[in-house]
Amino acid sequence: MKFLKWLVIVVVVLVLAFFLFGKSYLTEQTKKNSPEKTATYDKNGMDLSVKYSSPFKKDRVIFGELVPYDLVWRTGANEPTTFTTATNISVGGKSLPAGSYSLWTIPGKETWSFIFNSEIPEWGVTILSGGKETTRNPETDVVEISVPVQQLSQTIESLSIDFDEAQQLYLSLAWDKTKVSVPINK
């Protein structure tokens, strides 16, 4: 009985130690391989930002293998990608109120869906699934739009999310030889 009591105490101490020290160490280690990046846009009455972790290609086939087609992806590595707008905007013709959102995608061969969700979970995937299942709650999706895939001639080595502006402002994601862009208006 004494042994069982000590065993429970040791297990509880180890679990607490992991959550107090190990979790921050693991987070630090993963960010070495997928550094945090932020893209901002502050013009034309809009104040936008995207914060994400940028994994590298490393000679892997990205879309269709590492990132499967037709499944929800947390869009980057580590914590979910976040999109923040200080003003009400239109994304792909749909209204998106001012606020912060988790940004999820469903990559496809010819089109992608972009999903702006009002909840921002801590990590974005379940540990038990090995990262294959997201923690996104579909009931809190605010906007979902589909956009066509653009094939690039040059390989983009690390995931890049940025704002592109020509005649139209776009939120663009590029990685490997794939680029997708979402139109944004005030």
**Residue bearing the bigger pLDDT, 132 or 68:** 68
Tell me, what's the pLDDT at 92?
95
- Can you name the residues that pair with 125 across neighbouring β-strands? 134
- With bands split at pLDDT 50, 70 and 90, how would you rate the model's confidence at 19? low
State residue 27's pLDDT score. 46
pLDDT tens digit string along 119-132? 987 766 555 555 56
Q: 23 pLDDT band (50/70/90 cuts)?
A: very low
What 3-state DSSP class applies to 66? coil
Angle at 57 between CA 56 and CA 62, to 5 degrees: 125
- The two three-digit tokens of residue 184, written as one number: 């944004």
Instruction: Give 3-14 pLDDT, tens digit per residue.
Output: 666 766 666 656
Per-residue confidence band for 66, with pLDDT thresholds at 50, 70 and 90: very high
CA dihedral 158, 163, 169, 173 (to 10 degrees): 20
Whether 154 has a pLDDT exceeding 80, the answer reads: yes
**What residues contact residue 115 under an 8 Å CB cut-off, 6+ apart?**
72, 103, 104, 105, 106, 136, 141, 143, 144
| Reported pTM | 0.80
Query: What is the C-alpha separation between 170 and 49, in angstroms, rounded?
Result: 12
- Which residues face 172 on adjacent strands? 162, 181
Closest by CA position to 148, among listed 186, 185, 93, 111: 111
